[in-house]
Amino acid sequence: MNGFADCGDQSIMALDTVNFRGIAALIAAAGTLFWLYTFYAIAHVPPGDGTGFQWLAVFPLGMVFGLFFLPAWLLVAIGRLPRFTAALAACGLIAFAVLWAQLLQEFPRAAL
């Protein structure tokens, strides 16, 4: 091997140079920050009937965080399976988006 890549090897080399561990860390950081934001957003939901049931939304959001982002952070920290970790964290963001869209429909609207 002389150190020069053939044209067919360039796409393979491009995948090798992508830092999947860094990408996974950025996606996991975005998911973690969104999860923390949800506490702020839920705290500012109009009270509705005053029972505080809007706080039950913390449980499914916490489950998404625990199932997708905690393992992603662990795998990023130990440097194992970087492509799987990036995919896992991306799936977590998708789960957050689906869940948050549903929760926004359920929360009472502020009276203007």
Report the distance separating Cα 108 and Cα 27, nearest Å: 30
In a domain, residue 2? The reply is no
Residue 55: what pLDDT?
87
In a domain, residue 29? The reply is yes
**69: closest CA among 35, 103, 109?**
35
In a domain, residue 1? The reply is no
Residue 112: what pLDDT?
44
In a domain, residue 48? The reply is yes
Report the distance separating Cα 8 and Cα 5, nearest Å: 8
Residue 40: what pLDDT?
94
Residue 46: what pLDDT?
80
Report the distance separating Cα 20 and Cα 83, nearest Å: 6
Q: Is the distance from CB of 21 to CB of 82 less than 8 angstroms?
A: yes
Domain limits at 77?
19-106
Please list the ranges in the chain whose pLDDT falls under 70: 1-17, 110-112
Residue 91: what pLDDT?
97
In a domain, residue 14? The reply is no
In a domain, residue 5? The reply is no
In a domain, residue 94? The reply is yes
How many structural domains does the chain have? 1
